[in-house]
Amino acid sequence: MKFTLSGPEELIKQIKEGIFNFNPLEILGIEQSKDARASFINKITSKKITKRIAVTLAFDQISTKQSNRYLEVYQKKGYYKLNMQKYGVYEAALISDIEYLKQNLKNAKNQQQEHKRTLLYTCCRSGFYDCVELLLHYGCDIEQQQDTNSTPLHVASFYGHKNVTQLLISYGANNNIKNHYNNIPSDEARTDEIKQLIISNKDDNILTFFQQSKKEGIVEFIERSKNDNMIRIYRKLKKNKKEYCHCYHGTKFKYIKPILDVGLQPSGAKTKYGKVETPSNHIHPDETIGGIKNWAKAIFTSPSAFYAADTAYSERIQNKGHQYCCLVEALIKEGSYKQFPSTVLKRVFQIKNEPADVEYRIDCNQDAPLIQRTEDATKVIVFSALFLKEQYLQNQENYDECNQFLDNLSAFEL
């Protein structure tokens, strides 16, 4: 079947207006419904999204048990149109209607349809990259299985959607889950290129860290910017924190999981991971700085990712051949901290427009009653681990532009 439509927006508009009437057998190029699946597997790899939308509708019309999803066109036997009175998020996923999904996704992101298929699974099957990216951005369960125990990674791999497979991998999709056929996603790859793409991510240390932490229930999902310049691993925030401001804290890689789990703690604090020790090259907890006793017995953050990424605070790790700076991101309560200039004598990163006072100090009274110490802890809420590519930071010239990019990457309204 040939299409003369200018793009997916026009096709989606015609489908929703009831203008697009289709014959599923003609679209799939078959004479009998029993051949629908084989034809779908062959045609769904088309580079043109308009063709993939039409093929998806044709296959769904033949295979669905939801008899009211489609209406037969009057006096055109064998032709159908989508029943807009039954239109919802699942139907939107079938035709890559990203605008409808944006407006209606909040309470239905992990909704399941026939065969326990989720919205994410459905969009991965048809190679709808933008919809998959949206669903991942909103935190849809990347490992939720349908009735054959196949995951979104299984279906993207099986149907040959390389770009969607790569996107799922970047969000931490697990290649070790077996379906009812005893296959992991790489076993079902349509091409050797996709298979190698899946299994080659063993050197992604940040992805491995995310997968392990997710299994332990510490984090929820991972988010990556273009070229992996910034990689975030999120805890879940249950509500917006409008009275809090955004800040950063540089640390060692081995401390990120404890910080994500129990939060930022002052030097000397005892947690289930042990006592928080002051690094040997940092100010001693008992020292007085600027007239402030026990200077280091506090929580320190910075409004500047550049300052927090300094080697005095942030460890470098290797990930897929690049050096990354290790940070955590937090929200700190307005009025709970005091601002100070840099205590680092020789900075690694120097950038225009950075604030003069780049250290935020939150005093923590460890000798106070437990209730008060608990209140102190709520002044700082850690919401993510942040890995910044060192080369990216070195190439930045404007503090405000980089900070805006960091804020725009965030999947949460802080």
Model pLDDT for residues 329-384, shown as the tens digit of each residue: 998 888 888 898 888 878 877 788 888 999 998 887 555 443 333 345 578 889 99
Contacts of 49 by beta carbon, 8 Å cutoff, 6+ apart: 8, 96, 127, 128
Give residue 290's pLDDT band: very low, low, confident or very high (50, 70, 90). Answer: low
Report the range of poorest mean pLDDT among 14-18, 57-61, 176-180, 398-402.
398-402
CA dist 56 and 78 (Å) reads 17
CA dist 232 and 292 (Å) reads 34
* Helix ranges restricted to H, 19-137: 24-28, 36-43, 49-63, 89-94, 98-104, 119-126, 129-137
Give residue 240's pLDDT band: very low, low, confident or very high (50, 70, 90). Answer: low
What pLDDT sits at residue 411? 44
Sign, CA dihedral 176-180-182-184, equals: negative
* pLDDT reading at 268 higher than 80: no
**Chain centre to alpha carbon of residue 320:** 19
Q: Give the 3-state secondary structure of residue 183.
A: coil
Ordered DSSP codes for 115-170: GG-BHHHHHHHHT-HHHHHHHHHTT--TT---TT---HHHHHHHTT-HHHHHHHHH
Model pLDDT for residues 109-166, shown as the tens digit of each residue: 667 777 688 999 999 999 999 999 999 888 888 989 998 999 999 999 999 999 999 8
What pLDDT sits at residue 407? 72
R_g of the chain computed on alpha carbons: 26
What pLDDT sits at residue 285? 62
Give residue 201's pLDDT band: very low, low, confident or very high (50, 70, 90). Answer: confident
- CA dist list (Å): 159 to 43, 123, 357: 10, 11, 53
Could you tell me whether strands 244-250 and 322-333 are parallel, antiparallel, or unpaired per DSSP bridges? antiparallel
The answer to pTM > 0.75 is no
* pLDDT reading at 246 higher than 70: yes
What pLDDT sits at residue 370? 36
* DSSP label of 114: G
Report the range of poorest mean pLDDT among 17-21, 186-190, 200-204, 316-320.
200-204
* pLDDT reading at 328 higher than 80: yes
User: For residue 338, what are the β-bridge partners?
Assistant: 361
Model pLDDT for residues 98-120, shown as the tens digit of each residue: 999 999 987 676 677 776 889 99
All structural domains of the chain, each given as residue ranges with its CATH number in brackets, are 8-202 (1.25.40.20), 223-409 (3.90.228)
What percent of the chain is predicted at pLDDT more than 90? Answer: 52
* pLDDT reading at 5 higher than 60: no
What pLDDT sits at residue 320? 84
318: left (phi over 0), alpha (psi -120 to 50) or beta: beta
* pLDDT reading at 410 higher than 80: no
CA dist 123 and 125 (Å) reads 5
Q: Please compute the mean of the pLDDT values over residues 243-253 and round it to a whole number.
A: 90
Task: Note whether 144 and 110 are within 8 A (CB).
Answer: yes
Contacts of 111 by beta carbon, 8 Å cutoff, 6+ apart: 89, 90, 118, 119
What pLDDT sits at residue 307? 93
What pLDDT sits at residue 138? 83
- CA dist list (Å): 114 to 97, 122, 190, 229, 380: 19, 11, 24, 39, 44
As given in the structure block, the two tokens for residue 156 are: 């993207």
Q: Beta-carbon neighbour count of residue 202 at 10 Å?
A: 10
Could you tell me whether strands 270-271 and 244-250 are parallel, antiparallel, or unpaired per DSSP bridges? unpaired
CA dist 220 and 150 (Å) reads 20
Task: Note whether 301 and 247 are within 8 A (CB).
Answer: yes
Per the listing, tokens 């503090």 go with: 399
The residue with greater pLDDT, 378 or 207, is 207
CA dist 359 and 184 (Å) reads 47
What pLDDT sits at residue 114? 73
* DSSP label of 407: H
Q: Give the 3-state secondary structure of residue 373.
A: helix
What pLDDT sits at residue 223? 82
What percent of the chain is predicted at pLDDT more than 70? Answer: 87
